[in-house]
Amino acid sequence: MKKNNPYIADDEIDLGDLVRTLWREKILILSISVICGLVGYLYAYFQPQEFKTEIQLKNPPSQLFEPYSQIFFNNNSNSNNIAGQFISDFKLNFLSLDNLQSFTEESGGFDNFKAYLKSRNISAREYFKNKINEVKEKNSIIPNKYFLVFTKELDGDIFLNNYAQFTKKKTILGIKKIFKLLIENQITNLEDAIEKAKLINLEKPILQSMHQTNQLINEPDDLFYKGRLILSQEIIYLKRLLIKLEDEQFNYEVVLDKPLNSTAKEMPNSGYFIIGLMLGIFLSLAIIFFKSILKNN
C-alpha cells in the first residue's frame, strides 16, 4: 500500500488555494491593472514628444593656419598644432550650454521654440541640458558626429545645422584673438630688442664665429643680437600679418553631412501602457498577499 506524502498534499492544497484566491480576487486584479495601465498611457500621452537628429562635421584643413604657424605657441608649433587647437576649441564650444544659450538668443528665427521656452519659464541652457552630445557606437565615440534631442516646438535639423555655423564663427573669432595677442606681444618684444641694439650700435646680426678649437659657436639667443635691421624687418612682417589677420575669414565648410529626417526618440504610448499593466498586476498581487496575512492573523 502506498503511503500518502503529506508534503505533496500540502502543496496541492496550497496551489489550489492560490488559484481559488486569484480567481476570487479577479475583479481587484483586473481593476488595478487596467487603472495602472491607463495611468502609464496618459503619462506618455502628456509627455513632450521628443525627436533625435544627428550631424556630421569636418575639421578645417591645416593649410588655413599656415601663415600664422610661426607665431603660435611661442614659435614652437606648426599649422597642424594650430588646427588641433582649433578643433579642440570648436568641440568645447559646440557642447557648451552657454554657447547654445547665446545662439538661441542671437538667432533671428525659431520663434515657436522661443515662445515655448518662455511659456515653460526655462532658459535654453536648461532645455538643452543632456540633450546634445557626441554620437557613440559600441561605446566608442564617432569623431565629429553629434546628436541633438529636441521637442516638436523646435526644428532640430535646421537648428543643429545653423548652430554648427555659429560655433565655427565663434571659434574663429576666439583663435583670431589669440593670434592677435601673440603677434602684438612679439612686436613688443622686438621693439624692446631694437632699443637694446641701438644702445650698442648693433645694426646687423652677430654671425657665428670660429672658436680656437675650430668648433662653431652659435650666435646669442637674445633678440637684440639680431641687429636693428633684421629686427625692424621682422616687425614690418608682423604688422603686415596683423593687418592680414583683421580680414582673415578662415573659410571652410564645417558641415559634412547635414541633419536630415529626425527620428522619434520616445517610447510609444502602448509601451507605457504595458509597463503600467505589469506594475498593476504586481501591485494587486501584493495587496492580495497582505490581505491573506491579515485574514490568517
Check pLDDT > 50 for residue 13. Answer: no
Look at residue 124 and tell me if it is in a domain: yes
Handedness of CA 35, 41, 47, 52 (dihedral sign): positive
User: Per the structure, how many domains does the chain have?
Assistant: 2
Look at residue 80 and tell me if it is in a domain: yes
Look at residue 210 and tell me if it is in a domain: no
- Judged by phi (left if over 0) then psi (alpha if -120 to 50, else beta), residue 217 lies in beta
Task: Give me the mean pLDDT over the 229-244 stretch.
Answer: 92
Look at residue 295 and tell me if it is in a domain: no
How many CA atoms within 13 Å lie on the side-chain side of 285? 8
Look at residue 211 and tell me if it is in a domain: no
Yes or no: say if 65 and 176 are a contact pair by the CB < 8 Å rule.
Answer: no
Are 38 and 53 contained in the same domain?
A: no
Look at residue 255 and tell me if it is in a domain: yes
Helix segments in the chain, DSSP class H: 6-24, 26-46, 79-94, 97-106, 111-120, 124-127, 156-199, 228-247, 269-296
Check pLDDT > 50 for residue 280. Answer: yes
Are 121 and 63 contained in the same domain?
A: yes
Are 79 and 195 contained in the same domain?
A: yes
Q: What is the 3-state secondary structure (H, E, C) of 22-67?
A: HHHCHHHHHHHHHHHHHHHHHHHHHCCCEEEEEEEECCCCHHHHHH
Are 105 and 30 contained in the same domain?
A: no
Q: Which residues neighbour 234 within 8 Å (Cβ) at sequence distance 6 or greater?
A: 190, 226
Are 261 and 195 contained in the same domain?
A: yes
Q: Per residue in 110-159, pLDDT tens?
A: 999 999 999 999 999 999 999 999 999 988 999 999 999 999 999 999 99
Check pLDDT > 70 for residue 79. Answer: no
Are 191 and 159 contained in the same domain?
A: yes
Domain that holds residue 281: 25-47+268-289
Are 55 and 88 contained in the same domain?
A: yes
Check pLDDT > 70 for residue 237. Answer: yes
> Helix, strand or coil for residue 129?
coil
Q: Per residue in 175-227, pLDDT tens?
A: 999 999 999 999 999 999 999 888 888 888 876 444 444 544 455 567 888 88
Q: Per residue in 149-187, pLDDT tens?
A: 999 999 999 999 999 999 999 999 999 999 999 999 999
Are 157 and 185 contained in the same domain?
A: yes
Are 137 and 277 contained in the same domain?
A: no
Look at residue 229 and tell me if it is in a domain: no
Yes or no: say if 148 and 78 are a contact pair by the CB < 8 Å rule.
Answer: no
Are 71 and 190 contained in the same domain?
A: yes
Look at residue 188 and tell me if it is in a domain: yes
Residue 63 sits in a domain whose CATH number is 3.30.1890.10
Are 97 and 193 contained in the same domain?
A: yes
Are 159 and 30 contained in the same domain?
A: no
DSSP 255: E
Query: Which residues are registered as beta bridge partners of 146?
Result: 55, 134
